[in-house]
Amino acid sequence: MKKLPLDQYLTEEEYKKKESRVDKFSSITYSLVVGTLLDLKVGLKPLGIFASRGQATILNYFTGGWYGKWRNLLFKKTKTSTESSFIKKRSVDFVAFNTFQTPIYGTAVTIASLVEQVVPVILQHGINALYQDNSIDIYKAFESGKNAMINLAIISPIIEPTMNYTMNKFRQWYGLKKPEEKVANE
């Protein structure tokens, strides 16, 4: 039985809202699985991973829909459709991923690194210890964030296709179009 695309039954506004929710859900799902592996790679310990994945879930809730819109926009601006070459489609997705996801991941790891340093001090000595404790190394946190962005950029040829495949699959499951399909129908 052939599925009909939802755009035949929804207003443009309803379709965009549905697309945003599906993109959020797929981003969160992907981030929980793959993000945990990346967090281990950059050296976060269990508390840091918990903080990173927790805040990544929140970040993906707010940015997953925007990332989907960003992909749609780049496909539209570059006129990349289902008829475009495999290389062109992958290149547009690669640019979308590295200009959107990489900085967000770096920010998440920087914050997680700070949490990883701050929480034990508070638990052991109380909140006032933060003003007296010199063991909080903000440069270490920024270094962790920088390393996270570098690592993600390096492995993005693997991560980007799998993330965008996941997003496309979720869109397909919910009767929505991939970015290149939207361009082909304009």
**Do 152 and 38 contact (CB within 8 A), yes or no?**
yes
**Do 97 and 159 contact (CB within 8 A), yes or no?**
yes
pLDDT in tens, 68-91: 999 999 999 999 999 999 999 999
Query: Residue 62 — pLDDT band, cuts 50, 70, 90?
Result: very high
Query: Residue 2 — pLDDT band, cuts 50, 70, 90?
Result: very low
Is 183's pLDDT higher than 80?
Answer: yes
Residue 184: the pLDDT is 73
Tokens of 50: 């918990």
Q: At what angle do helices 86-125 and 138-173 cross, to 10 degrees?
A: 130
In 34-178, alpha helices (H): 36-41, 46-77, 86-125, 129-132, 138-173
Residue ranges per structural domain of the chain:
14-181
What distance in Å separates the CA atoms of residue 138 and residue 168, rounded to the nearest whole number?
38
What distance in Å separates the CA atoms of residue 161 and residue 165, rounded to the nearest whole number?
6
Task: Specify the pTM.
Answer: 0.78
